[in-house]
Chain A
Amino acid sequence: MRKILVLFKREYLTAVKTKSFIISLVLVPIIMAGSFITFMIMDNNQDTTDKNFVVIDHSGIVAAHLEEQAELRNENAIFDPETGEKVQPAYILEFTDADMSDPSGQLAELSDRIRAKELHAVIEIGKDVLHPGDSTEEDYIRYYSETGFMDNVRGWFTNTINNHLRQLRVEELNLDPEVNRTLFAWTNIEAMGLAEIDKKTGETKEAERSNELQSFLIPYAMVILMFMMTLMSAVPLLSSVMEEKSEKIAEVLLGNVTPFEFMAGKVLGGVGVGLTVAAVYVGGAVITVSRLGVGDVIPMGLLPWFFVYLLLYILMVGSGMAALGATCNDNKDVQSIQFPAMLPVIFPMFVIVPIISNPAGTFATTLALIPPFTPTVMMIRMATPVTIPVWQPILGLLLVLLFTVFSIWVGARIFRTAILVQGQKPSIGNLFKYAFRS
């Protein structure tokens, strides 16, 4: 145990004392926070340059209303009422008749004006837009622009035109104005969490409004953090063990320590590095959100699970990486084995969205109970507002524990033989031979 501690100390200090470690420790949150802040600033600082549109109204019933609404908007909605500062672009509409002899030529000409930045978009309103369904050809509203699908401005036209069309349809029915008032009332469904009874006080805790932060951002942040910790602490063991083998440091050490002690020291060094980084980030996040007065967004109850799973995850991946590193003779071997070795770590990253959308589904549940994926997948599921049966994280933990012990055992067997074998490639056949036949 003493020798493992000496090896651990060297491994840990060598890793955390490097400039690159300190730089990445500081830079990662800065980059993440920076990109978030940039996004917020960009989102708030909307483009306020006025936008020109051409409207071709085949129906003849929308243009006048659009013009009126655009003017109303330009007068009232584009300036901040308190500061008087311009916060939205004005919409300047130009109405043109359809060129029935050459409609495509007209569109091409207008498109060129969009390309030349004279116009932002062209809106074309079909002839039969008031009563859609009667004709499949002429009941459209089209929006031609460079940004097309992503353009936020499209929403204003959609709402303004549709509200006007509804109004016209209602007028045709000659309804009581009182009915008219509530006819188009639209009620959004609010997404709520679940109510619960506080076991200590017996009081009912009311259901809270669930939001994107809870249902997406927290699970996402946790799994990304776990993935990053593993990348920083366990994956580098692959090349560091290879170096110790090719530089003959391994033999010097093996005169003094057993292969198991050697591997354990290295893997624990990785665990130390991972937990240090995690503690810094999680601690930083907790302090930051408490200062901001939104401390309750961090699910404190989950943090012990997070650290236990992270610890086992790094042990599991680290012992595998160290064993594989022992089978490599040079950087070329490391490169050839790195991607397949990392696949089990990367795979959950590809399925984050389906797991977050349905954390209690069969796919997520099954994946969460397959040990190499358990730590990340179970954490995603536990971090979502959906209730996961208590036995699942516990069973997952037991399975991960068993698999980690197995991984260390196989890893150590591969390691102890491979570390002194020169010139053999890290093939599956060799791995099997080292693990089970020597």
Chain B
Amino acid sequence: MNIIEIEDVTKRFGSVVAVNTLSLNVPKGSIYGFIGPNGSGKTTTIRMIMKIFYPDGGTIKINGKPHDGRRLNNVGYLPEDRGLYKKMKVHDVLMFHGELGGGSDLKNKIAYWLDLLDLSDYASKKVETLSKGMRQKLQFIATVMNEPELIILDEPFSGLDPVNAEILRESILNLQKKGSTIIFSTHDMSMAEKMCDNIFMIYKGEKVLDGTLNEIQDQYGADTMVVQSTGGEAILQGIQGIEKINNFGKLQEIRLRPEANPQQIIGEILKKTEVQKFEITKPSLNDIFIRIAAPERKEVNHA
């Protein structure tokens, strides 16, 4: 059963096509990652799901029901541009968003979430006194505190330190366990790999990837070698059959040419240096992202 069904949806801003004949199904209870370079159409797609923008063509159904102009109930939305009333107190902001979302037992929910995200001491402080990371967490609580059926998070991890990112990640997984469907857009590919059941990539308004991580990686085959050696990147230069080297410092990810023989390449490396780690693997999501988006680095201007 799909909670969201997008069919042939197009959205234009003047002469710019922000999203072009997009079709996408989001299964109920899944975590769906939206990836894509800046300005590729992620936020526009999310805004259309949220009914903030009307598509110029195609249909979007939520729980099988088409667009009817009313706002969605039981949906939590964390937009890319965060906005909170600065002069309101933390507790009052959460009460306001909780009431707006039609929640009940709000006092207990607020206490639970403030405690979970380590914000209890700030309950009676004004929003303007909080740090950026704290505001981010506060906005996250406002989005999910009513445990809505569908949660849409636009860049939920941006600006968070690793500890808070981890807390947020656990909270999202918990919400999924409790039955929520979660869509989140991110530039953090490792987070997407770790968390998402399905990944959707949009590039220049077109869908370029859609499926589970395995399905996506299978499209590219096992054309990647991960090497950790004493010689580092320098000794890899000039070896036949290597198309591209992603240098991570202590570790290099090598993309092989289709005709290359991995055994031959490792032989070449062993001749030159001592190898600590060697693995033939599928390409990472990060690598796939770069393969698609890197040829043209220029960012598209529309949202």
Contact = CB atoms under 8 A, between A and B. Distances in A.
Q: Do A and B bind each other?
A: yes
A236 to B, nearest CB: 14
A139 interface: no
B180 to A, nearest CB: 15
Contacts of A250: 83
Interface stretch (A60-68, A255-263, A373-381): A255-263
Contacts of A248: 79, 81-83
Contacts of A2: 102
B77 interface: yes
Given A6-B96, A14-B87, A420-B52, A251 B71 contact: no
B139 A258 contact: no
B148 to A, nearest CB: 10
B100 A7 contact: yes
B20 to A, nearest CB: 21
Interface string B70-82: 1100010111011
A252 interface: yes
B88 interface: yes
B141 to A, nearest CB: 13
Interface in B76-99: 77-79, 81-88, 96-97, 99
B101 interface: yes
A6 B142 CA distance: 15
B3 interface: no
Contacts of B87: 14
A109 B166 CA distance: 94
Given A3-B100, A6-B96, A252-B139, A258 B70 contact: yes
A233 B88 CA distance: 20
Contacts of B52: 251, 254-255, 420
A247 interface: yes
Contact of A251 (B79, B85, B96): B79
* Max chain A C-beta neighbours (<10 A), residue from B53, B70, B79: B79
B81 A255 contact: no
Interface string A47-69: 00000000000000000000000
B83 A247 contact: yes
A251 B71 CA distance: 13
A251 B70 contact: no
B235 interface: no
Contacts of B102: 2
A253 interface: yes
A3 B71 CA distance: 10
Given A2-B102, A10-B96, A14-B87, A255 B69 contact: no
B100 A6 contact: yes
A4 to B, nearest CB: 10
B69 A258 contact: yes
Interface string A1-16: 0110011011000100
Interface in A330-357: none
Contact of B71 (A6, A252, A256): A256
Contact of B84 (A7, A9, A14, A252): A252
B293 interface: no
B134 interface: no
Given A6-B100, A256-B100, A257-B100, A244 B83 contact: yes
Contacts of A247: 83-84, 86
A256 B101 contact: yes
A36 to B, nearest CB: 36
A249 interface: yes
A257 B99 CA distance: 12
B50 interface: yes
Nearest to A249: B83
A249 to B, nearest CB: 4
Interface string A388-423: 000000000000000000000000000000001000
B88 A252 contact: no
A326 to B, nearest CB: 14
B267 to A, nearest CB: 57
A13 to B, nearest CB: 9
Nearest to B50: A255
Nearest to A259: B52
Interface in B107-153: 139, 142, 152
A420 B53 CA distance: 9
* Max chain A C-beta neighbours (<10 A), residue from B78, B79, B83, B102: B83
A121 B142 CA distance: 77
A201 B4 CA distance: 73
Interface in B144-173: 152
Nearest to A2: B102
Contacts of B70: 258
Interface in B15-42: none
B74 to A, nearest CB: 11
B72 to A, nearest CB: 8
Contacts of B85: 14, 249
A9 B92 CA distance: 12
Interface string A347-375: 00000000000000000000000000000
Contacts of A261: 71
Contacts of B69: 258
A14 B85 CA distance: 10
Interface in A26-57: none
A194 to B, nearest CB: 54
A248 B82 CA distance: 6
Contacts of B88: 14
* Max chain A C-beta neighbours (<10 A), residue from B69, B75, B82: B82
Nearest to A7: B100
* Max chain A C-beta neighbours (<10 A), residue from B75, B100, B102, B142: B100
Given A254-B50, A255-B52, A256-B71, 11 more contacts: A249-B85, A252-B78, A255-B75, A255-B79, A255-B152, A256-B77, A256-B97, A256-B100, A256-B101, A257-B71, A420-B52
* Top 5 closest pairs, chain A to chain B, by CB: A255-B77, A248-B83, A249-B83, A248-B81, A6-B99
Interface of A: 2-3, 6-7, 9-10, 14, 244, 247-258, 261, 420
17 contacts: A7-B100, A10-B96, A14-B85, A247-B86, A248-B82, A249-B85, A251-B81, A251-B83, A252-B83, A252-B84, A254-B52, A255-B52, A255-B71, A256-B100, A257-B100, A258-B71, A261-B71
